Structures are given as C-alpha cells and as structure tokens.
Chains A and B, each alone.
Chain A
Amino acid sequence: MRVKLKNVFIVYFVVSLVGLLCALLQLGQPCDCSQQIQAERRRGRERLRAEQRNGGARGEPRAEDGGQALPTIYVVTPTYARPVQKAELVRLSQTLLHVRALHWVVVEDAAAPTALVSRLLATSGVPFTHLHAETPPESRRRPGDPPWLHPRGAEQRNRALRWLRDTRAPGDGGVVYFADDDNTYSVRLFEEMRSTRLVSVWPVGLVGGLRLERPLVAGGRVVGFHTGWKPERPFPMDMAGFAVALPLLLERPQALFDPRAERGYLESSLLGALVSPEQLEPKADNCTQVLVWHTRTEKPKLRQEEQLQREGRGSDPHIEV
C-alpha cells in the first residue's frame, strides 16, 4: 500500500490532538492538596521568620516525605585546649550550621567541661551535646613527642559512642561521622553520608602524604584503596573518610576505637568490628570527588607573648582567644 504524505500528516495530527486532550484532562482534576499547600506555606513562613530571628541559623530539622524525619547526622568532634581551639571550633560550627538534621557531639579531652567550649556551643546555633573524657596520663603527648606517637582522640570518640549507645533507641536512624576540629568539610559531604546503610566511604584530600587518598571502586563496589602509606592496613583510610550507620553501632556495642592501636590502625580498630571492606558503600560519585580535606593549622608563634609573660606583662588573660 502506498503511503501518502497526506495520510502521514493526518495520523500525526490526530495523535498529537489525542495527546493534548489527555494532558488537558489531567489538569484541573479535583484533588485535595490544599492541606499540603497550606502546610508548606506555613512551614516556609516559619522558616523565614526563624532565619530572620536567628540571623542565618538554619533551625530545626524539617520533616519531609509524609512525616518521616531525615536521618540525623551525629558529628563527633574530639577537641583539646590549645591557642587555636576556639578559632577551629568557630569555623567548624559555621560549616555545620548549614547542615540540616545534624547533632554535634563535642568531646573535650579534659577532666571537666570548660567554660570556653560551653559558651561556644551554646551560642553556635548548632544542636549539640557537650561531653568530656580525659586521655589517661600514659597516653598523653609529652613535649617533644612526635604527634603520631599516640593515637589522639580515641578515648573521646569512645565516650561519644558510649553516649550514643546510652541515649539512642534501637529503632533510631542516623549516621555517625568522626570530624576532627581542624579538617575542612564541604556542606555536600554531609548529604552524601546521609544515606549510609552500614559504612560509607569517600576520598580525603591532603592526607597520607598524598594529594588525596581514596577507595578504589569498580561496579559500584569498593575493591581496594589508593593510598601511599601502609596500604596493608585492613582499612587504609583516614578518620574523615567514612561514616557509620547508627543502627550498626547500636547492634555492635563492643565496637570501639582501640587507644593502643598502632599508628594508622585506629580507624581499622573500629571498622574491623563493623564491616568487611566489600561491604563499604562508596559515595562522592564513586569516590572520585574530594569533599573533605585533612587540613592542619599551624601552631601560632607566641614568642613575644611568652617573653611578656616572663616579665609579668602578658596579655589580659580575661580576653578569651
């Protein structure tokens, strides 16, 4: 049968018309979305008001998707007193303030909570829990010890794990991330880790003597690790390079950091009790993007300060730095 051009046009026209009619019929369908729309408007207004009141703080986590709360990210930060401590915590808090449904667990290496950290947390605008755990004397760094001699922060991170296990219910969702106070975190990193089912991993910049360390991913699974330092470790990655699902930590109450772990094995001491490397979930675009950097802050030169203090003319100690 010969196909006439005229027929082709007619068929095309009819099909388009039918399609258009279907689309038009979809619009204006009666449905009761008014409640949703009003609820959205109300939430939006409250958010605006809260933001204007708080001068930029992002407020409480919002419910979405029919009332299911967003998994909370518990950010565990060990910290210790030194001149740059306040500066580090201030700029870290400014990043965390951008992340919804986040709870900051700050653990001081101290015999008691300090006024400096208490005040800082209270005014930061970030939901927080303030804990403390003192590193035992034998594990403490002595002047002259290289920084890597004793793993740092193990007791403090374990204290946070204990708090989570004491206060969170087995049904609670959530993700736990160990964030040191001198690293640099992009806001996007936190959204990547939010979907962690067991343990998720991603690259870390400026660590291990390299531009970046990262898990190697093939077919959406972790098949190895790209690192230049001690690659024989079970989990050759930095503390900033993984997050753990809260339910997993609650299921395995024995899983803790080992304060006596050999240098570089602290992460493995926890992760080995939680997952095998094949179970790791790669994030950050199959571990090709750097969303966190292992920055370190210089120790400030305080020579003139020390000299003045020797002369009894040091700066006003009441002015908090």
Chain B
Amino acid sequence: MDDGGDSQRDLAAGLDSKEYCLSERDIVEVVRTEYVYTRPPPWSDTLPTIHVITPTYSRPVQKAELTRLANTLLHVPNLHWILVEDSQRRTPLITRLLRDTGLNYTHLNVETPRNYKLRGDMRDPRIPRGTMQRNLALRWLRETFHKNSSQPGIVYFADDDNTYSLELFEEMRSTRKVSVWPVAFVGGLRYESPRVNAAGKVYGWKTVFDPHRPFAIDMAGFAVNLRLILHRPQAYFKLRGVKGGYQESSLLRELVTLNDLEPKAANCTKILVWHTRTEKPVLVNEGKKGFTDPNVEI
C-alpha cells in the first residue's frame, strides 16, 4: 500500500489517561486537532473491507469530484480506496489529496495509450475510459491478497462523478459472489434495475437499451466478493472490441451466472446510487494565454 495509508485513527487520542497535570490548553488542543480534518470511523475486525476502485483523469473538475467523493467515503467503516490515475506518473495533486483525506488508500496509475493519429491527441477511443485503470486495480488486488486469505473483502467500481448513499455500502458488504441493485439516470431512464422474481432471484433486466446483454447493468450497479476476484485470476474487463454497454458483461460473465446474482436494496426496489455527471465548466474568460494564476490549484 502506498504512503502508509494507515486508516486507523486512534479516537482515544483525547482520552489520555496519564495522571500528571495537563494544562487546559493541552486538552483542548488535542481534541481540536481531532476535528479540523475528519477521520474515518474506527477500523473493525469483523466487517469485510470494501475496496472501492475509482479510475480518475485530470480535468478542471477532478479535484472537486474527488473531494466530494472522499467526503462520502469518509463515513464508511473499513473502506479501502484504490484510486487509479489515467496518467504517466502519479500526480502531486492526487498524492496530496489522498494524504489529506485521512482515508485508507492505494494510489496507482496507468496511462491509456494515446491515439496520435486522431486530432487533438485523444486517447485511444477503442479502449473505453477507465478500463485499463480498473484492470490495474484488479491486478493489484490479486498481487496483494493471497487466494486463500481469510481477509473478507468486497470490490466496488465507483466512478468519481457518481453519487453514492451511505446505505449502499452497507448493502454490498454482505455480498457472497456478486450483488446487484438499481442505478438512477442510466440508459436514458430514471433508473435501470435488475428484474427480481418472487423467489428473490434475478431473471432479467429492466432496461430499454439492449436488455438482452448478459449483464445489462451499469458499473455502479454491482459489487464482487474479493474471494471471487482472487479465484478467477483471468477475469478482467475486455480492453478492445467491446460494444457500448457491454463493458460490465465482459467482466461479469467470467465471474457469475445470472442465477448467482444477489439482489440488494430491498429486492432492487430502492435507489441508492445515482449516475450523476458534472458539466464541463465554461472557462471562456481564461482566453488563450490564461487569466488566472496557474499555480493556484483547483
């Protein structure tokens, strides 16, 4: 794990049991610093760890997105954030941000190859955004955790612009193989959802866009037990030749069948995650040469 990333914050810091006289100032300062920056909840030995994999790339709203996502994740016990930059090197912005959150994290990076033939030095459009980064995180998990490790864990792919309720993380914690739930604002609908029968089994997909996909579900709509990831080391997201909307299927078909899916969120009747997207900010007043101080980080 990079840079320590020790998530344990000793909440007992304010409970110093030394008997010698502490001045009033000492007690107040110890307690004050505990709250200036938030800390995650205390680590529990009984809760499975949720490994949240977030691919990210540099653009003006990046720091804002990651700040508010971190503010969400800070409420979740036993959370390990795997942030994977689409970049040649790990950037100082992300390094500083991760360190300052106090979260338990791992900072990785891999650059999606650029297609120099395209105008504007675009990334290779045949590789869906985030794929290489998610695959790197899966590889990291497989290299870090032994197959027969008893450390229970859940893997969740959380893009940096979605919105997640805290309840979602508790729903996914009980995942045995792959659990699923509805996602709002995808596929041109208010929400897409798995179809669940009276026996609590998933038998189809309530979507308009290609409901016959093997897994017609958004990246934010499922979580995988770490054990399954480790036992199927060949399962990755397919890099190329993937039709739009089939990314998720390319991984899930290596892991489970429809029958094995575990519906969460009250048998898939509650919305606990929203596929929000952030507008590209208008920077027209920067002009060609830039108006604001480039040394001020946004």
Assembled-state Cα–Cα distance A314/B191 (Å)? 11
A51-B41, A226-B292, A290-B296 known; A40 and B278 CB under 8 Å? Answer: no
Instruction: Tell me which of B32, B37, B185, B189 contacts A64 (CB under 8 A).
Output: B32
Whether B297 sits at the interface, judged by CB under 8 Å, is yes
Contact stretch, chosen from A94-102, A248-256, A269-277: A94-102
B120 at the interface (CB under 8 A from A): no
B15 and A44 within 8 A (CB): yes
The answer to whether A64 and B291 touch across the interface, beta carbons within 8 angstroms, is no
Check if B118 is an interface residue, CB within 8 A of chain A: no
A residues contacting the other copy or chain, number (CB 8 A):
76
Among A88, A95, A211, A305, the residue within 8 A (CB) of B286 is: A211
Segment among B19-27, B83-91, B142-150, B248-256 that sits at the interface with chain A: B19-27
CB of A263 to closest CB in B, whole Å: 15
B138 touches A (CB below 8 Å): no
B197 at the interface (CB under 8 A from A): no
Q: Is the CB of A98 within 8 A of B74?
A: yes
Known contacts A191-B36, A209-B283; A84/B274 CB under 8 A: yes
Question: Across the interface, do B185 and A295 meet the contact criterion of CB distance under 8 Å?
Answer: no
Is the pair A206, B64 in contact by a Cβ cutoff of 8 Å? yes
Q: Is the CB of B31 within 8 A of A228?
A: no
- Checking A87, A203, A302 against B189 with a beta-carbon cut-off of 8 angstroms, the contacting residue is A302
**B298 engages A290 (CB within 8 Å):** yes
A65 at the interface (CB under 8 A from B): yes
Residues of the B chain whose Cβ atoms lie less than 8 Å from the Cβ of A188:
36-37
On whether the beta carbons of A211 and B298 are closer than 8 Å, the reply is: yes
A305 — which chain B residues lie within 8 A by C-beta?
188-190
CA distance A191 to B41 in the complex (A): 20
User: Considering the chains assembled together, what is the distance between the CA atoms of A167 and B8 in angstroms?
Assistant: 41
Main secondary structure of the interface of B (DSSP, over half): loop
Query: Given contacts A184-B64, A209-B284, A298-B277, are A94 and B291 in contact (CB under 8 A)?
Result: no
Q: Is B214 an interface residue (CB 8 A)?
A: no
User: Is A48 at the interface (CB under 8 A from chain B)?
Assistant: yes
* In the assembled complex, A83 has its CB within 8 A of some CB on chain B: yes
- Whether a CB of chain A sits under 8 angstroms from the CB of B231 is no
Q: Which of A5-13, A25-33, A73-81, A156-164 contacts B (4 or more CB under 8 A)?
A: A25-33
Note all chain A residues with C-beta closer than 8 A to B296.
203, 211-212, 214, 288-290
In residues 204-236 of chain B, which contact A (Cβ within 8 Å)?
Answer: 206, 208-209
Closest partner residue, chain B, to A303 (CB atom)? B188
Contact A33 B185 (CB under 8 A): no
Query: B61 to A293, Cβ gap below 8 A?
Result: yes
Instruction: Determine whether the beta carbon of B187 is less than 8 Å from that of A304.
Output: yes
Q: How far is the CB of A307 from chain B (nearest CB, A)?
A: 8
B196 in the interface (beta carbon within 8 A): no
- A319–B270 touching, CB < 8 Å: yes
| 7 sampled A-B residue pairs with Cβ under 8 A | A40-B14, A84-B185, A209-B282, A298-B278, A305-B190, A315-B206, A321-B191
